[in-house]
Amino acid sequence: MKIHPTAIVDKKAKLADDVEVGPYSFIGPNVDIASGTVVGAHAVIEGHTTIGKGNRIFTGAVIGSVTQDLKYKGEKSYVRIGDDNIIREYVTINLGTAKDSSTVIGNKVLLMAYSHVAHDCIIKDGAIIANCGTFAGYVTIEEKAVIGGLTGIHQFVRIGRLAIIGGCSKVVQDVAPYSNCDGHPLKVYGLNTVGLERAGIPQESRTYLKKAFKILFNSGLTISHALDEIKSEVPKSPEVNYLIEFVSASKRGISR
């Protein structure tokens, strides 16, 4: 292990042999860090926190700190972080609130500087969170979604896969997968065509999604009537099916 002499690593912490820890960092007793992870200077990793392989954690990041939820009464809760993530300067990631709950970061996630991930959030594989992206509790960010800088997301909101949200947006309702959004409050401006193409979604599926988006966001129909029309008028594909499933399951309503 390459642990700087000024770093404090609790004897009970579990670190793989090749983990690096920079100057003045602190690693608590209930932390488990897997192979290839590099922790920069002045970082704090505490709580019941598990960090996978190949992560890069930059200066001043604070991971596993006690939730800011006033309902928290000291129960044992967790932060669980996967592999190959980039956690930039001064990112904060809090423990879950309830007993045995977890805040979860998947694999290959980029959290840019000053991002805040509150209690019980789930950020899935490949998501990108730009500087100062701020998530209240129980937010879910699905695969390869992109959140612009200075964006605030209300608690319990779900951001669909491959959605892209412009900077300084205010998000108080769920965001449909594959959408291109911006605003305060948030508005959907169409399909995230660039993201879909980069993700290798077939042209046929993109065409079907475009038709579904016109019905959902431009027809003036209610959500339930729009879904009925999509089911009857738009050819099926995995992406269209998932759009229908996501919108149907929304509890906070869909940003339109």
Digit-coded pLDDT (tens) for 21-49: 999 999 999 999 999 999 999 999 999 99
pLDDT band at 95 (very low <50, low <70, confident <90, very high): very high
120 is catalytic: yes
* Domains of the chain listed by start with CATH number: 2-141 (2.160.10.10), 197-249 (1.20.1180.10)
Name the burial class of residue 99, with classes exposed (0-12), middle (13-18) and buried (19+) by CB atoms within 10 angstroms of its CB.
Answer: exposed
Paired tokens of 198: 């980069």
Q: What is the mean pLDDT of residues 204-212?
A: 98
pTM for this model (two decimals): 0.97
How confident is the prediction for the chain on average, in pLDDT? Answer: 98
Q: Which listed residue (64, 82, 106, 120) is catalytic?
A: 120
CA separation for the pair 39, 255 (Å, rounded): 38
The pLDDT value recorded for residue 213 is 98
Q: Which two tokens stand for residue 13?
A: 């912490």
Exactly one of 28, 119, 126, 148 is catalytic; name it. 119
Whether the pLDDT of residue 189 is over 90: the answer is: yes
Q: List CB contacts of 87: < 8 A, sequence separation 6 or more.
A: 55, 56, 57, 58, 61, 63, 81, 93, 111
pLDDT grade for 176, boundaries at 50, 70 and 90: very high
DSSP H or E run through 147: strand 146-147
- Residues 218-236: what's their mean pLDDT? 97
Q: Is 31 helix (H, G, I), strand (E, B) or coil?
A: strand
DSSP 3-state of 209:
helix
Q: Which of 64, 137, 160, 166 is flagged as catalytic?
A: 137
Instruction: Please indicate whether residue 225 is annotated as part of the active site.
Output: no
Measure CA 119 to chain center. 12
